[in-house]
Amino acid sequence: MYDFIITHWLDIFTTILGLIYIWLEYRAHIALWVVSVIMPACDIYLYWSHGLYGDAGMAAYYTLASVYGFALWQYKQHRSRSSSHHSAQTGNICEENRITNTQRSARLKQETLSEQSEEGTLNNYPITHFRRKHILPSVCFFFVAWVAVYWLLVTVINPSEQYVSSLWPIADAFTNALSFVALWALARKYVEQWLIWIAVDIVTAVMYIGKDIPFKASLYALYVFIAILGYRKWRKMMEEDKKNSTA
The burial of 179, by beta-carbon neighbours within 10 Å (0-12 exposed, 13-18 middle, 19 or more buried), is given as: buried
Which residue range forms the structural domain that includes residue 102?
2-246
158-192 pLDDT, tens digit per residue, is 888 888 888 999 999 999 999 989 989 998 999 99
Kindly provide the b/e burial profile for residues 7-35, where b requires at least 16 CB atoms within 10 angstroms of the residue's own CB. ebebbeebbebbebbbebbbbbbbbbbeb
Give the pLDDT score at 89.
Answer: 56
Q: Which has the minimum average pLDDT: 54-63, 86-95, 104-113, 159-168?
A: 104-113
- Give the C-alpha separation, 10 to 39, whole Å: 11
Span between the terminal Cα atoms of the chain, in Å: 58
What pLDDT does residue 99 have?
38
Residues 6+ apart with CB under 8 A from 117: 123
Which pTM does this prediction carry? Answer: 0.68
How far, CA to CA in Å, does 242 sit from each of 70, 75, 101, 247? 24, 21, 32, 9
- Into how many domains does the chain fold? 1
Q: What is the rounded distance in angstroms from the CA atom of residue 246 to the CA atom of residue 237?
A: 14
What residues have CB less than 8 Å from 61, skipping those under 6 apart?
Answer: 180, 183
Instruction: Give the mean model confidence (pLDDT) for residues 17-23.
Output: 87
Residues 6+ apart with CB under 8 A from 40: 59, 60, 62, 63, 66
- Cβ atoms of 21 and 186 within 8 Å: the answer is no
Beta-carbon count within 10 A of 130 CB: 17
Which has more pLDDT, 197 or 4? Answer: 197
Mean pLDDT for the stretch of residues 64-83: 76
- Rounded alpha-carbon distances, angstroms, from residue 64 to 24, 86, 146, 169, 217: 19, 33, 20, 23, 24
What are the distances in angstroms from CA 149 to CA 89, 143, 196, 210, 230? 52, 10, 18, 20, 29
More confident residue, 199 or 83: 199
